[in-house]
Amino acid sequence: MTYFEDLTEYTYCEREVISIDGGYVEYRSGHRRLNVGWMDAPHPVPTGDVPGWLPARLLDLIDGPLVNVMRGFHLCTHCGDFDRAMLTVPHGSGTVSMGHAELRVPGEGTTMYAAPTLIWHYVTGHGYRPPEPFIDALQTYDDSWIPRT
C-alpha cells in the first residue's frame, strides 16, 4: 500500500476515473484533494473512537461508484500474517471488495477527500480514526458530485 499522511495533498493519480454502471467516466478534478486513510506499516495508525454509523457508511460508499479502480489489489500491511486474497465483506445482498480502488468524499468548499477502499478495514480492524473534517463530510455525504456523462 502507499502511505500518505492524513490531510496532505493527494498526488497519487492526476486524473479521476470513476466506475459507474459498468462503464467509466474520466475527468480532471477541480477539487482540492486531500488524503485520508492511506495506511502502511511501519507508519503508525492514528486510533480513537468513531461514531457507530461510520463503518456502515463507508461500506455503502465502497458499494457505490469507485474511483481509480486498479487491476491488482493491496493487502493490509498492518495485519502481519494476512491472507493473500482480496478483502471482501458481506454487504446488502452481496459482497464488497476492498484494496483495489478509491473513494471520494466531498468536504466543505472545493475540498474532496481521497481514501483507499481499505479505509473500512483500518477503521474496523485497527481502530483507525479518520480526521474530524472527513468524519463530518461522511455524515453529510451527497453523491451529486459524481459526473454522470
Number of Cβ atoms within 10 Å of the Cβ of 15: 9
pTM recorded for the entire structure: 0.92
User: Which of 30-34, 69-73, 141-145 has maximum average pLDDT?
Assistant: 30-34
pLDDT reported for residue 141: 93
Q: What is the pLDDT of residues 29-45, one digit of tens each?
A: 888 999 999 999 899 88
pLDDT reported for residue 149: 58
Average pLDDT of the chain is: 91
Residue type, 126: H
Q: Any idea which of 41-55, 74-88, 109-123, 128-142 has the lowest mean pLDDT?
A: 74-88
Confidence of residue 81 (pLDDT cuts 50, 70, 90): low
